[in-house]
Amino acid sequence: MKVLENIRQRLTEKHDKPLLVVSTSLVEAGVDLDFPLVYRELAGLDSIAQAAGRCNREGRLKKGRTMVFSLEKAPQYVRAAASLARPYLDPDRRELIFSPETFTDYFRQRFFLLGEEELDRKKILARLQGPLDYSFRSAAEDFRLIDDAWQRPIIVPYDEAPELVDRLLEWDVRSAFRKLQRYTVNISEFMLQHLLDEGHVRELPEYPGTFYLENFALYSERYGFTPPGEIDNYNPEATII
């Protein structure tokens, strides 16, 4: 949150040097930032539109620019959507790329390519048409664009997080957990187990399933969570979509 505040402040000030921000796709999820130029790796058309929403958001310029590029080795889970989006970036179709008709056509092709079995693995639509014992809360929990079941949140020792963890032991549970949400990061199950084995992370015995990063050296305000060097197969591209 502090990083976003600093970015917003820099964007409103005049500087001799341009402000460059490198981020994962999380910045596309409703983050209110406004840049004159945005670069986005080729992905689904919806993801490209979300990235473009951070470009000239407040209409200060006559035109903003969103540039889409391709990496040689794109993550496997975005290749299908990216291949469908590519034709819409053709110069002859680019002017209408974000029109309702374009998105209708794009998602129709995506549905045809992936099929109902892939897009609705948990049979949410069928269950919503049945008896109401399947609650909308259950539907919301089942419906996730990104399946993050393989990820686990850990609390990082930043700002007031250490103090809040101590307050958990004083039974001010609800207030502390609510505030701790802003100091959590998601890591893979594999990485969590490695950090536990090496003593970098501990599970709070009073609250099973709640993990705290004991090694302060693995988190910085500037770079966020940085895994230890002994995790040889850590791939930072796993956080890019």
Give the pLDDT confidence of 40-50 residue by residue, as tens digits. Answer: 999 889 889 98
The number of folded domains in the chain is 2
Distance CA 232, CA 55 (A): 36
Distance CA 241, CA 216 (A): 28
168 and 85 housed in the same domain = no
89 and 163 housed in the same domain = no
Return the higher-pLDDT residue of 26 and 13: 13
> Is 125 part of any domain?
no
> Is 121 part of any domain?
no
82 and 161 housed in the same domain = no
85 and 161 housed in the same domain = no
Q: What are phi and psi of 160, to 5 degrees?
A: -95, 10
- Structure tokens belonging to residue 181: 């949400």
- Structure tokens belonging to residue 54: 């951070």
> Is 162 part of any domain?
yes
6 and 94 housed in the same domain = yes
94 and 9 housed in the same domain = yes
pLDDT recorded at residue 26:
67
**84-95 burial by CB neighbour count: b if 16+ within 10 A, else e?**
bbeebeeeeeee
Of the residues 65, 98, 131, the one at which a domain ends:
98
pLDDT recorded at residue 195:
93
- Of 170-179, 197-206, 231-240, give the range with the top mean pLDDT: 197-206
Of the residues 63, 98, 133, the one at which a domain ends:
98
Domain that holds residue 183: 151-239
State which amino acid sits at residue 21: V
pLDDT recorded at residue 67:
93
> Is 82 part of any domain?
yes
Instruction: Look at the pTM and tell me if it is higher than 0.75.
Output: no
pLDDT recorded at residue 144:
45
pLDDT recorded at residue 128:
55
88 and 16 housed in the same domain = yes
> Is 228 part of any domain?
yes
94 and 10 housed in the same domain = yes
156 and 233 housed in the same domain = yes
pLDDT tens digit sequence for 184-227: 887 878 889 999 999 999 998 888 888 999 998 888 777 778 88
> Is 159 part of any domain?
yes
> Is 215 part of any domain?
yes
91 and 164 housed in the same domain = no
pLDDT tens digit sequence for 121-159: 555 556 556 555 545 455 444 544 444 445 688 999 888
> Is 115 part of any domain?
no
